[in-house]
Structure 1
């Protein structure tokens, strides 16, 4: 997604003015951060460096997923003895990959562009553009026109003109965080905890 795409949806004149570009880019970055927080993982491929990694039976045991590519794996050496520790410092790319999943790319673009266009940062620019008057309501019989002040009519997902979609558009790719201690837990008969068949 680009500043120009957001500008088109927000009703800004093209090309985006140099002084307006940082605000539009921040609105895009903010929408991407919100998407990543909702998804529970990076919304786009992101590089990570992780130390103290051990190799598992099916590959590296890394903290982020899905792993797209392992860039490097450097063996770690004990600081005092100088011998290999069996652990590695791994640089890798992880996160959802819009380039590999067109459906996800479309949903992410829809969310980020819509949210950025509805951002107060971008709406202030749209309101201050010369001659810009964003219509929110038109009365035919009464011949009245209402102009929006700072936000699109209706809230996110309301279906109103200019309203951004909700984060539920990304629900299919959301990762629900679950924590489980490593290893096998004790049998309930050993702990005295109640258990059912």
Structure 2
């Protein structure tokens, strides 16, 4: 194994264990995992805001999610660099080194660390997908409510058609609606 420490995460200094590149990759994965957990936290926060119909804060929550996604992209770049170092040590292509492969090939105790990361990332991915789906459903329902309110404020649109005799006919008979009646 190479003694390279160029991919040391978080400016923590040189890795001093027997497997510096594997340890640097594991540290990078811990950092990335923390970002993914924070992303889940923000998605759950957005879900709670949507469920509570606190629409005024939803945009802010979604902006925070976007910022975390940018942080996650940066973490992915760092992981890629750390993975390249391990791939070079092992004489293999970085694309082949999945977490399952790392857990299978890494010496003890690093194998357990990569297995733990694999399980945690799988769990987090599932939770994120579930929360994102719930958020989409809640946002869609909220949008429907906003559309209904706007339609009530604007008054009925009324379908405009022609009768069999060729005369213009509109189903709309109601006049303007007062705001306090709609809300």
TM over 0.5: same fold? no
Asked which structure has the greater RCO (Cα within 8 Å, sep 6+), the reply is 1
From the two aligned structures, give the one with the greater strand fraction.
1
Larger radius of gyration: 2
TM-score (norm 1): 0.28
